[in-house]
Chains A and B, each alone.
Chain A
Amino acid sequence: MSASVLRVSDLAVGLHLPGREPRMLLDNVSLDLGKGEVLGLVGESGSGKSLFCRALVRLLPSENIRITEGRIMLGDRDLAKATEAEMLGVRGGRVGMIFQNPTSHLDPVMTIGDQLIEGIRYHQKLDGGAARREALAIARQVGFTEPERQLDSYAHEFSGGMRQRAMIGVALSCNPEILVADEPTTALDVTIQAQILQLLLDIRSERGLSIILITHDLGIVAQTCDRIAVMREGRIVEQGKKRDLLRSPAHSYTKALIGSHPSMPISAGEMTATPPSKAAATDKPLLEVEEVNVRFAGAGNLFGGRSGAVHAVADVSLKIMPGETVGIVGESGSGKSTLARAVLGLTPIASGNVTFDGTSLRHDRVAFLTRLRREAAMVFQDPYNALNPRLAIGQMLAEVLKVQARTPPDQIPTRVCELLDLVDLGHEFAGRRPRSMSGGQCQRAGIARALAVEPRLIIADESTAALDVTIQAQILDLFRVLKRKMNLTLLFIAHDLAIVRNLCDRVVVMRGGHIVEQGGSAQVFEHPADPYTQALIRAIPDIDPDKPLLPQAAREIA
């Protein structure tokens, strides 16, 4: 790697509240970025990796957070000491940033073209026709298919992947040398993620950019980066060349990160701990879905008739045996969540039938829903929003137990403690509110609430999608243990195939409302029959850098 373009040495950033000891948020961070290099900055939420990037361009989130020490050398200029006027030229013009959520970072009331032209005018000093031509060139470079038309579109008219392309384009419009990408693909489907990562690599080689890629997913780093730095609690715990670091991590935290990556094969011990359920052929399925169809009416108005109805779930049939764990995977819009809602009676089905332990939705809707609501429970994606912020965890569990009326009132406190034990939360959590708890703890509380009804079926809708990898691994472990202990039947909905692979006995792959493939986990993942499943599996960023991502496959199905 040639000379460094950015050299950070001993950077310290502290929170200075009046009348209090300053608290160090970043401590002694030293990092070099070579020209044309892709540096992966890995860490979990709260590790300080986003703060580090904002400190680079001195856009700290509050006036109380200040750089206290260290140097940020961009060429021969120290950004830690540069004037605010100099920083205006550096931000965007030399260091560009792209963010996790393009929807909130793109201006919703300005066309994409105008946002591109704004950067071109400021940093490249082009105007009028020349600026427009440059904007078109950038739009083409980031993969707009009809740049002429798309420049006049607004962000909300784009899909998630296109929005991220637009945001990369807006960053490029300032013509930077360094691109800082903060979790650029976390909100995207795997196949789109593969495309965006490939796009970043392409513009790196076309423009000679250096990239700092922040992510929590070691798989992404393994696939795209040259060098890796691991961050934890405001410090770099380890950095080095990608292969060296992945092959022989020195720090225990790095080892834990690598071990909890979902693409790692689970150990043999765990495998025997969760034997694929041997449901006898004579067993009746606990949940049976027969040729269910769900349609949503298209938006209509007084004069314009109904524009095409959306067929969200089409002829889906599914059997889930007692004690079985079934994963439904698919990208956003595949109908997997709609199917779950339809099964729970939350969305009306157009045709077909759902049977829960012999009670049919078709024949006796009321009885079906009553049974389902007593014997099935749901665990949601966002652990914070799914819990009532005003109730302590103990109160929340007690409320469920009271409504359920199976536990005598005097035994409710004991039962609450039992539930907390089940999800590995200490008894003191009974008195705590969601706000004072971490995401993982909230999700455990959410699972405890689901268990409070003593369900026979748990439907988990993207229950680990919002969590950090190590926490994700813990929650998945918890599901495994609970399954074994309580003979739970689990319907696990996820967009992350690796998670499903590790947890589920059977996998159902959905696309566009249809089931494209279903079968045993091992079989589907080892020998996928359907081309879509094959492409999906190939798009998972594997932690092994020698198993390259295949964006071509992703493009085929996009």
Chain B
Amino acid sequence: MHRYKFVLYRPIQLLPVLFGISVVTFVLVRLIPGDPARVLLGARATPTAIANIRRQYGLDEPMWLQYFYFVKNLLSGEMGKSILYKIDVLKLIITRIEPTLVLVLASVTLSVLIAVPMAALAARNHGRFADHAVRIISTAGIGFPPFWLGLMLIILFSVTLGMFPVSGYGETLGEKIAHLVLPSVTIALSLSTVLTRSLRAAMVEGLRSDVATAARARGMPERVVFWRHVVPNSMVPTINLLAINIGWLIGGTVVIESVFAIPGIGQLLVRAIFSRDYMVVQGVAMMLACATVLINLIADIVTVAADPRVKL
């Protein structure tokens, strides 16, 4: 099991990443013009009221001291209090994380389910009609921005056909699923194009490889050659591509959640930035950094499991 030893020490690498992220987000949110107290109280607030709010949230302290408190709170497991929602940032994130998490999981699963058959179809018909069709579709798919694709899907399936709700998120499980179908499909369509192209290239190469020749020379039917020998060997390079894209996707949910008005992390972040809710922006950024590192760790574990030659 020594090949999996990196799982133990990888979290140590997280520490410098988190430190960097904390400094950058702390400074960046304070560089945005505007004052959280003024945003909260409105344009006609009295200077005394503003000063009170600033004192209440420690915004009147010098910058370095604010950073010191921020880190001190983090170390004791707290992210401070939201100025806008008046509750603890961690609690706030927890209430908003469900739709985002489900959305990301659903769209990743869906995109793999689209990409693998598409790539297999193209690779096994290399140079023929199906291959060209898949390549044209996936190249065109990269060209469509997700927010536009999302709007088109809403117009078609929600407005015209009335099959799915236009936007928002439900209370019951059935409602939640219904609300997440279109956004998941939107993300999956974009993500699967990238995966399809990478998988197709790996599979085409795999079908020409010596491993495939040797399997054919043992009398294996083409189906077995493909699914048992070519596919497992083609997965390895795509795993990392997928991980990078999931990292990107988490940031990308900001756009999709806005298009579909889903009350998730992305929307929380957008609103926090507009209202200069420093604590929330910092908290969400830290969480996203952790998630990205975690996803790459999972990708590494999957890679090690999929390819016995890999040592990390």
Which single member of A91, A108, A123 contacts B216 (CB below 8 Å)? A91
Q: Which residues of B contact A162 (CB under 8 A)?
A: none
Q: Which residues of A contact B216 (CB under 8 A)?
A: 59, 91
B211 touches A92 (CB 8 A): no
B214 touches A99 (CB 8 A): yes
Q: Which residues of B contact A101 (CB under 8 A)?
A: 210
A154 touches B309 (CB 8 A): yes
Q: Which residues of A contact B306 (CB under 8 A)?
A: 109
Output the least CB separation between A89 and chain B (Å).
6
A118 touches B219 (CB 8 A): no
Q: Which residues of B contact A156 (CB under 8 A)?
A: 308-309
Q: State the CA gap A361–B50 with chains docked (Å).
A: 75
> Would you call A90 an interface residue if the criterion is a C-beta within 8 Å of the partner chain's C-beta atoms?
yes
B233 touches A122 (CB 8 A): no
A174 touches B229 (CB 8 A): no
Q: State the CA gap A363–B259 with chains docked (Å).
A: 72
> Would you call A113 an interface residue if the criterion is a C-beta within 8 Å of the partner chain's C-beta atoms?
no
Q: State the CA gap A59–B8 with chains docked (Å).
A: 48
> Would you call B44 an interface residue if the criterion is a C-beta within 8 Å of the partner chain's C-beta atoms?
no
A109 touches B308 (CB 8 A): yes
> Would you call B217 an interface residue if the criterion is a C-beta within 8 Å of the partner chain's C-beta atoms?
yes
B219 touches A107 (CB 8 A): no
Given A59-B213, A104-B211, A156-B308, CB of A109 within 8 Å of CB of B218? no
A122 touches B219 (CB 8 A): yes
Output the least CB separation between B102 and chain A (Å).
32
Interface flags, A494-532, vs B, CB<8A=1, else 0: 000000000000000000000000000000000000000
Output the least CB separation between B227 and chain A (Å).
12
> Would you call B271 an interface residue if the criterion is a C-beta within 8 Å of the partner chain's C-beta atoms?
no
> Would you call A93 an interface residue if the criterion is a C-beta within 8 Å of the partner chain's C-beta atoms?
yes
> Would you call A558 an interface residue if the criterion is a C-beta within 8 Å of the partner chain's C-beta atoms?
no
Given A109-B232, A109-B306, CB of A119 within 8 Å of CB of B218? yes
Q: State the CA gap A99–B213 with chains docked (Å).
A: 10
List which B256-312 residues lie within 8 A (CB) of chain A.
306-309
> Would you call A57 an interface residue if the criterion is a C-beta within 8 Å of the partner chain's C-beta atoms?
yes
Output the least CB separation between A231 and chain B (Å).
20
A93 touches B308 (CB 8 A): no
List which A103-149 residues lie within 8 A (CB) of chain B.
104-110, 118-119, 122-123
A92 touches B229 (CB 8 A): no
Q: State the CA gap A302–B10 with chains docked (Å).
A: 10
Q: State the CA gap A96–B2 with chains docked (Å).
A: 37
Closest A residue by C-beta to B2? A304
List which A50-92 residues lie within 8 A (CB) of chain B.
57, 59, 87-92
A302 touches B9 (CB 8 A): yes
A303 touches B233 (CB 8 A): no
Q: Which residues of A contact B5 (CB under 8 A)?
A: 301, 303-304
Q: State the CA gap A167–B214 with chains docked (Å).
A: 9
Q: State the CA gap A87–B218 with chains docked (Å).
A: 10
> Would you call B109 an interface residue if the criterion is a C-beta within 8 Å of the partner chain's C-beta atoms?
no
A154 touches B218 (CB 8 A): no
Which single member of A96, A107, A157, A304 contacts B229 (CB below 8 Å)? A107
A170 touches B218 (CB 8 A): yes
> Would you call A39 an interface residue if the criterion is a C-beta within 8 Å of the partner chain's C-beta atoms?
no
> Would you call A171 an interface residue if the criterion is a C-beta within 8 Å of the partner chain's C-beta atoms?
yes
Q: Which residues of A contact B211 (CB under 8 A)?
A: 104-108
Given A154-B308, A154-B309, A156-B308, CB of A108 within 8 Å of CB of B217? no
> Would you call B221 an interface residue if the criterion is a C-beta within 8 Å of the partner chain's C-beta atoms?
yes
What are 28 sample pairs from A and B whose C-beta atoms fall under 8 A apart? A59-B213, A88-B220, A88-B221, A89-B219, A92-B218, A92-B219, A93-B219, A96-B217, A99-B213, A99-B214, A105-B210, A105-B211, A106-B214, A107-B215, A108-B307, A108-B308, A108-B309, A109-B233, A109-B236, A122-B220, A123-B219, A154-B309, A157-B308, A167-B214, A301-B5, A302-B9, A303-B8, A304-B5
10 other A-B residue contacts (CB within 8 Å) besides A88-B219, A104-B210, A108-B309: A87-B219, A90-B219, A99-B213, A104-B211, A107-B229, A107-B233, A118-B228, A122-B220, A167-B214, A173-B218
